[in-house]
Amino acid sequence: MPALILAGLALLFILWLLGQPYWTRRQRDKLRAQPFPDAWRDILKRRVPYVRALPADLQRQLEQHIQVFVAEKAFIGCAGLVMTDEMRITIAAQACLLLLNRPRGYYPNLRQILVYPGGFVVQRAQTDNSGVAHHARQALSGESWSQGQVILSWHDALEGAALPHDGQNVVIHEFAHQLDQETGAANGAPVLARRDQYARWSQVLGAEFAQLQARSAHRQTSLFSDYGATDPAEFFAVISEVFFEQPQRMAAEHPALYRELALLYRLDPLSW
């Protein structure tokens, strides 16, 4: 009898696993079909001016993504910060820009967004040239963890939304990392639409990354922040910021790189 019970429970679990994608799609369809709250649209108008530049169809798609994102992800205030709809919608709008026209899920590994009032301090283990490990305190405005969390400074998230053309946006940066981490540790190679795209992606981004490293080493100016020269993962996050916020300069100065990101994100910000 216990064996039959265990077999029945195992069958129910398998049926639940098979049915979960269906129920998730159905719930998301219901959320997207709901009217977008007027109060949320007012927040977008006041806090996220970037949205006004989007074509009408992408604005509607973004609103639908926000409805799903806010329903599925937990926003947690840290260091005494009390979360409000203004904070949730402002952050969600920027995070969902990266999902426009993409068929994949809503950052499937992400469970929580932890929000601090401002920059937060973390402990980092560093090894010097002699091989001795040290612990250092580092102030950050954002961080993405593969364990299902994004950590953000509300001050920096708000500033990033208010200045849509400066090429710096902490929310876009950290959620680009989330895309990169969908298959494991961030390495600058997010999931692409087709297998045959990876060779060209590697070639173009590898050459551009090496160029930025050389410029950074010689203290030469670049469209991209020197932080992007840290490693391929940071390079991908940095160029994603610029792709959305300074597409004209990127397309003019780095056309091959722009084309790769346009294929990845299935968007052409030059046309907005």
pLDDT at residue 12, as a whole number: 40
> How high does pLDDT run on average in the chain?
90
pLDDT at residue 4, as a whole number: 55
Co-location of 203 and 154 in the same domain: no
Residue type, 245: E
Residue 146 belongs to domain with CATH number: 1.10.472.150
Any domain includes 172: no
Alpha-carbon distance 157 to 155, whole Å?
6
Co-location of 37 and 155 in the same domain: yes
Co-location of 41 and 159 in the same domain: yes
pLDDT at residue 125, as a whole number: 57
pTM: 0.88
Point out which residues pair with 115 in neighbouring strands: 77, 152
Any domain includes 179: no
Residue 229 belongs to domain with CATH number: 3.40.390.10
Domain of 212 in residue numbering reads as 187-272
Spell out a b/e string for 17-30, using b for 16 or more CB atoms within 10 Å of the CB, else e.
eeeeeeeeeeebee
Given 114, 131, 163, the domain boundary residue is 163
User: How many domains is the chain built from?
Assistant: 2
Model confidence over 156-204: pLDDT tens digits? 999 999 999 999 999 999 999 999 999 889 999 999 999 999 999 999 9
Co-location of 158 and 70 in the same domain: yes
Alpha-carbon distance 262 to 272, whole Å?
13
Model confidence over 112-169: pLDDT tens digits? 999 999 987 776 555 555 655 545 566 788 999 988 999 999 999 999 999 999 999 9
Any domain includes 83: yes
Co-location of 250 and 136 in the same domain: no
Co-location of 57 and 122 in the same domain: yes
Torsion of the alpha carbons at 53, 113, 228 and 50, rounded to the nearest 10:
10
Contact call for residues 95 and 177 (beta carbons, < 8 A):
no
Co-location of 237 and 203 in the same domain: yes
Co-location of 193 and 243 in the same domain: yes
Any domain includes 12: no
Co-location of 55 and 108 in the same domain: yes
pLDDT at residue 134, as a whole number: 46
Percent of the chain with pLDDT over 70: 87
Co-location of 157 and 243 in the same domain: no
Any domain includes 173: no
Given 108, 131, 163, the domain boundary residue is 163
Co-location of 81 and 144 in the same domain: yes
Co-location of 147 and 233 in the same domain: no
